[in-house]
Amino acid sequence: MDIEKIFLEKGALQRGHFLLTSGLHSDTYLQCALVLQHPRLAQELAEGMAQKLAGQPIDLVVGPAMGGITWAYQLGLTLGCRAIFTERSEDVMTLRRGFTVQPGERVLVAEDVSTTGGSAQEVIRLLAGSGARVVAVALLADRTAGALDFGVPCHSLYQLKPQTWTRADCPLCQEGIAIDRPGSRHR
């Protein structure tokens, strides 16, 4: 499966000047929701991830809101286990809506796209504090081309390494190019 081709066809791989959820600026944005809105395609992607996870016992899939919700649900369906999501409450990642994690549960953290790994790391810390055992991270897209380290195996279906900058170092800001804020934070 040619993931980059899918992202391009669905308009999910975008070029411009973007403020990422991480707070960094970039010339490339991945709007995974434009891919995951197609249930059959999402199922094919989840099956591809399940192949990468073959033999790994998983009791629960947890994804951070917003981007990880659909991906976590699809992976849970494919893997035949429960799927829940975390949310930020007063800027702290939490379990809400009655979701619980049991001590010793083997958990897969699912994120649609990651640049710094920050959201997934927050989820991992939350789960570790609940006594769960995070066994792996499943990314639809990894913007670091494999450089992320979560302390557990990290699997991705698509890797790329677009330019990112802090606001102070962003050449697109210096050129006066308007910034797009498509992510779920920093609106």
Domain contains 96: yes
Mean pLDDT for 57-64 is 97
Query: Is residue 93 domain-resident?
Result: yes
Residue 127 belongs to a domain = yes
Tell me the C-alpha distance between 53 and 48, whole Å.
9
Q: Please compute the mean of the pLDDT values over residues 101-129 and round it to a whole number.
A: 94
* Domain contains 59: yes
ω into 93 cis (within 30 of 0): no
54: in domain? yes
* Three-state DSSP state, 132: coil
Radius of gyration of the chain measured on its C-alpha atoms: 16
180 DSSP assignment:
B
- In tens, the pLDDT along 116-165 reads 889 999 999 999 999 999 999 999 999 898 899 999 999 999 999 899 89
Structural domain includes residue 160:
yes
Quote the number of domains for the chain: 1
What CATH number did the domain enclosing 138 receive? Answer: 3.40.50.2020
Q: Is residue 15 part of a domain?
A: yes
Residue 116: per-residue pLDDT:
85
Query: How many angstroms separate the CA atoms of 150 and 147, rounded?
Result: 10
Residue 123 phi/psi, 5-degree rounding, is -65, -45
- CB contact set of 90 (below 8 Å; sequence gap of 6+): none
**Number of CB atoms found within 10 A of residue 23's CB:** 14
Q: Does the residue 64 lie in any domain? A: yes
For residue 8, the tally of other CB atoms under 10 A from its CB is 12
Quick one: what percent of the chain has pLDDT higher than 70?
97
Q: What is the tens place of the pLDDT at every residue in 69-89? A: 999 999 999 999 999 999 998
Domain coverage including residue 161: 3-174
Structure tokens at 46: 């989840």
pTM for this entry: 0.89
